[in-house]
Amino acid sequence: MRTFSLRIPASLTFALIATQAFAHAQLEKATPAVGGTVSSPSEIRLEFSEGVEPKFTGVTLTSASGASVPVGPAKTETGNAAVLIVPVGKPLSPGTYTVRWHAVSVDTHHTQGTFEFTVSP
């Protein structure tokens, strides 16, 4: 009986930890695609595993030289808070670009990440 009573709290603890681990807005898809090659995009679309708060979520874009590229304010897609849309401020020259994103999900968990894409000539 003692072993059984110890298993219940351990199982509940594990279940709560596992639930919290999945309660973060994880990047599921990006356009331009992670590692992809595209013509100059007019926007960056990030699709997350759950809704994000656009006021606390953002993207920076830098060229291969490290120069900052202007982007517009982030907004969520109408009717889908899990899709973040960030307009690119100007046409991009050929080269490799780095996207750095940070997100706050609707349940206030923070996540961040980085990926690259290439603009073809």
Per-residue pLDDT of 5-61, as tens digits, reads 545 554 444 444 444 445 688 999 999 999 999 999 999 999 999 999 999 999 999
Is residue 58 within 8 A of residue 101, CB to CB? The reply is yes
Tokens for 98, please give them: 């780095």
Condensed to tens digits (0 to 9), the pLDDT of residues 52-84 reads: 999 999 999 999 999 999 999 999 999 999 999
Q: What does DSSP say about strands 110-119 and 37-38: parallel, antiparallel, or unpaired?
A: parallel
pTM to 2 decimal places: 0.79
The helix (run of H) or strand (run of E) holding residue 12 is helix 2-21
pLDDT band, very low/low/confident/very high, at 106 (cuts 50, 70, 90): confident
- All domains of the chain, ordered by start, with CATH? 25-119 (2.60.40.1220)
